[in-house]
Structure 1
Amino acid sequence: MEKRIINPWKWQDARNYVQATEVKNLASTLYVSGQTAIDANGVSSKEDMRSQMSQALDNLEKVIQEADYKCEDIVRLNIYTTSSEELFNNFDVFQNWIIKHGIKQTSTVLEVKVLFETLKVEFEATVVK
């Protein structure tokens, strides 16, 4: 697989995403449903945004690894949140996870009115290999 990052500017680097990613000669693609802070028993978290972000990213990582893919090969990672303000006040959780895995993803953040039950954030990914 070949990945080419397209960044006409430098400002997005501080925000840990890229403007576009071209992928050629890939073997397969994994489309991951939105992952949230739901535990192994299917119980939605009632914790704060920071805790939910951490648990949702752990869940995303688990699904990707279970499918025999690598987090570093995420090419698109969309974020849905019930509060952009809370999300960005805790954005270091997301940025540290991105840096830890060396991910260079395209990304969109959308504030939505509601997520399932008590959930505050959801991560949806596309992964290639």
Structure 2
Amino acid sequence: MQKNTTDPWEWGKYTNSVQAVEIKEPQGTLYCSGQVAIDANGQPVASDMKTQLELTIQNLEHLIGEAGYEPGGIVRLNVYTTSTQEFFTICVPTYQAWIQKHGIKQATSMLEVKGLFGGLTVELEATVVR
């Protein structure tokens, strides 16, 4: 796989994403359903948003690994949250650390939604390539 990113604006270097990702000759593409803070029994973990994000990331990493992919192959990451203000205030350090840990360079959309399943506050939806 060859991965090329495009981010033509100067301000782009300060974001947690790039404006476009091009993949040439992928060996596979994994489209992940939105992952949330659900425990091993399928029950929502309704705690603070930061704790939910940490469990959501763990669940997404587990899903990606079980499918034989790696988090570094994420090329599209959609973030759904019930409060963008709370996400940027509380969750950005955790989110940025995770992105940097895996060297992820992804196209991203963030949407504030009215609600999520089970009173949850954050959901991550990814497309992964290898």
TM-score range, shorter chain: over 0.9
Q: After superposition, give the CA deviation of every residue in 1:87-127 in whole Å (9 maximum; x if it has no partner).
A: 11121111110000100000000000010012000000000
What is the Cα deviation at residue 10 of structure 1? Answer: 2.9
Matches within 5 A, 1:39-58: 39-58=39-58
User: In the aligned structure 2, how far is the partner of 1:73 from the partner of 1:88?
Assistant: 24
User: In the aligned structure 2, how far is the partner of 1:84 from the partner of 1:27?
Assistant: 35
What residue number does 1:67 align with?
67
Structure 1 segments, 4+ long, off by >4 Å, are: none
User: In the aligned structure 1, how far is the partner of 2:12 from the partner of 2:66?
Assistant: 31
What residue number does 1:110 align with?
111
User: In the aligned structure 1, how far is the partner of 2:13 from the partner of 2:95?
Assistant: 14
Q: After superposition, give the CA deviation of every residue in 1:69-93 in whole Å (9 maximum; x if it has no partner).
A: 0110100000000111111112111
What is the Cα deviation at residue 27 of structure 1? Answer: 1.2
1:119 aligns with 2:101: no
What is the Cα deviation at residue 15 of structure 1? Answer: 1.7
Taking only the aligned residue pairs, the percentage that are identical comes to 52
What is the Cα deviation at residue 48 of structure 1? Answer: 0.3
SS in 1 for 2:38: coil
SS in 2 for 1:103: coil
1:95 aligns with 2:83: no
What is the Cα deviation at residue 14 of structure 1? Answer: 1.8
- Structure 1 residues without counterparts, runs of 5 or longer: none
User: In the aligned structure 2, how far is the partner of 1:123 from the partner of 1:28?
Assistant: 20
**TM-score, normalised on structure 2?**
0.96
What is the Cα deviation at residue 65 of structure 1? Answer: 0.5
Counterpart amino acid of 2:101? K
Aligned length: 129
**TM-score, normalised on structure 1?**
0.97
What residue number does 1:27 align with?
27
- Structure 2 residues without counterparts, runs of 5 or longer: none
Counterpart amino acid of 1:112? V
